[in-house]
């Protein structure tokens, strides 16, 4: 029988030990609560999605998924924070189109969306709605366009900062409507909606995951949806394209990101917990009731998010350049 030289035997034992430790580490992950960073205020659409999923994911992972709202600069502060976080599998970021638009919106961005992150999965696609304060004189979108033109820049639009989709919608709306809206920034569209309900701002373009309850309660004026076709959750509401803005389309997609070099077993386990949560009947019903659409399975993967982010980053650059900024 050939005996392995002592060094080979001891190396073999060492590597088996390390392999065992690695597997043990994988088996024990997650060993403590996980943080899911949300780039906007509590109560806004990103927060609604994050908290709904975090509760369900925590059940699958056997650890609490803590939602942390890290505010500011249209979501770029949260993205920069996550890019610099320890890549140990205990910090993740949920973010939307803002990951693709920020490079075109910010001359100096202290993170690279396409280099500083590992990708977990796409999450959910959410339509947007253009809503106005209850006592705004315009009763439909065409009247709103005429009223906005007559008001010059006296009409304002609330949003969640440069990089937020409510800001992006405002840019695209002012360009497509040929009007001049004054922008009113907030730390998220949760507080923006409160200002709209209080009559302190005139207009808001926000996601159905936030606006649907207020629309159903008839506490805001609804002017249209930003999707190519009408929504099952708001069937009577015409699209902006039906009301004169031919081709206007804006859907808010979401992704989950981790700091670069996060252990693969953490990425895999967090992604599996997300996919399980999206199949949970209660989560699926809540998302459907709020007009949100769960993407096809091929998008619910690291490659599905990375490919999409690359495509959207390229697509948005000229769109943002053409739209320019509206008065900040």
182 part of the interface to ligand ASP, by CB under 6 A: no
> Which of 91, 189, 212, 313: binder of ligand ASP (CB under 6 A)?
189
Instruction: Convert residues 93-122 into a mask of x (bound to ligand ASP by CB under 6 A) and - (unbound).
Output: ---x--------------------------
DSSP secondary structure of 279-299: HSHHHHHHHHHTT-BPPPGGG
166 part of the interface to ligand ASP, by CB under 6 A: yes
> Which of 136, 164, 195, 225: binder of ligand ASP (CB under 6 A)?
164
Q: Report d(CA 41, CA 58) in Å as an integer.
A: 21
The CA-based angle 207-106-178, given to 5 degrees, is: 55
CB of 137 to ligand ASP, least distance (A): 25
Q: Which stretch binds ligand ASP (CB under 6 A): 78-86, 157-165, 237-245, 256-264?
A: 157-165
Q: Which single residue brings its beta carbon nearest to ligand ASP?
A: 44
Residue pair 131/208 in contact (Cβ under 8 Å)? The answer is no
302 part of the interface to ligand ASP, by CB under 6 A: no
Say how many residues touch ligand ASP, by CB under 6 A: 15
Closer residue to ligand ASP in complex, CB, 29/248 = 248
Closer residue to ligand ASP in complex, CB, 46/182 = 46
DSSP-based three-state secondary structure for 261: coil
Burial of 285 per CB tally in 10 Å (0-12, 13-18, 19+) = exposed
CB of 43 to ligand ASP, least distance (A): 8
Handedness of CA 308, 311, 314, 316 (dihedral sign): negative
> Which of 30, 47, 196, 239: binder of ligand ASP (CB under 6 A)?
47
208 part of the interface to ligand ASP, by CB under 6 A: no
Handedness of CA 324, 195, 77, 47 (dihedral sign): negative
282, HSE (Cβ side, Cα atoms, 13 Å): 5
Q: Which stretch binds ligand ASP (CB under 6 A): 37-45, 51-59, 194-202, 259-267?
A: 37-45
170 part of the interface to ligand ASP, by CB under 6 A: no
Q: Report d(CA 93, CA 256) in Å as an integer.
A: 5
> Which of 30, 36, 37, 45: binder of ligand ASP (CB under 6 A)?
45
Region of 263 on the Ramachandran plot (φ > 0 left; ψ -120 to 50 alpha; else beta): beta
> Which of 29, 36, 37, 46: binder of ligand ASP (CB under 6 A)?
46
50 part of the interface to ligand ASP, by CB under 6 A: no
Q: Report d(CA 85, CA 79) in Å as an integer.
A: 10
Q: In angstroms, how far apart are the furthest CA atoms of the chain?
A: 95
Which residues of this protein are in contact with ligand ASP, per CB under 6 A?
Answer: 40-41, 44-47, 96, 159-160, 164-166, 188-190
């Amino acid at each position: 029988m050939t005996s392995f030289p002592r060094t080979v035997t001891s190396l073999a034992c060492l590597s088996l030990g390390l392999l065992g430790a690695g597997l043990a580490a994988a088996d024990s992950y997650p060993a403590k609560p996980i943080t899911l960073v949300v780039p906007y205020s509590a109560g806004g659409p990103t927060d609604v999605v994050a908290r709904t999923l975090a509760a369900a994911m925590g059940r699958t992972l056997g650890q609490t998924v803590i939602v942390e709202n890290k505010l500011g600069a249209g979501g770029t502060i949260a993205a920069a924070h996550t890019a610099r976080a320890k890549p140990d599998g205990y910090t993740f970021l949920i973010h939307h189109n803002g990951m693709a638009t920020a490079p075109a919106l910010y001359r100096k961005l202290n993170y690279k969306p396409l280099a500083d992150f590992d990708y977990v999965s796409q999450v959910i696609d959410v339509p947007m709605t253009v809503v106005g304060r209850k006592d705004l004189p315009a009763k439909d979108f065409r009247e709103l366009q005429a009223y906005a033109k007559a008001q010059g820049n006296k009409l304002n639009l609330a949003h969640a900062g440069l990089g937020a989709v409510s800001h992006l919608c405002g840019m695209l709306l002012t360009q497509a409507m040929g009007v001049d809206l004054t922008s009113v920034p907030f730390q998220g569209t949760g507080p923006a909606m409160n200002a709209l309900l209080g009559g302190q701002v005139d207009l808001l373009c926000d996601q159905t995951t936030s606006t649907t309850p207020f629309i159903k309660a008839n506490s805001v004026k609804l002017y249209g949806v930003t999707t190519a076709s009408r929504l099952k959750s708001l069937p009577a509401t015409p699209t902006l394209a039906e009301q004169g803005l031919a081709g206007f389309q804006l859907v808010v997609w979401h992704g989950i990101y981790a700091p670069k070099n996060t252990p693969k077993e953490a990425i895999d386990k967090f992604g599996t917990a997300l996919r399980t949560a999206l199949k949970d009947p209660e989560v699926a019903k809540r998302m459907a009731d709020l007009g949100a659409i769960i993407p096809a399975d091929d998008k619910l993967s690291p490659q599905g998010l990375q490919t999409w982010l690359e495509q959207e980053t390229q697509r948005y650059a000229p769109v943002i350049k053409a739209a320019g900024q509206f008065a900040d």
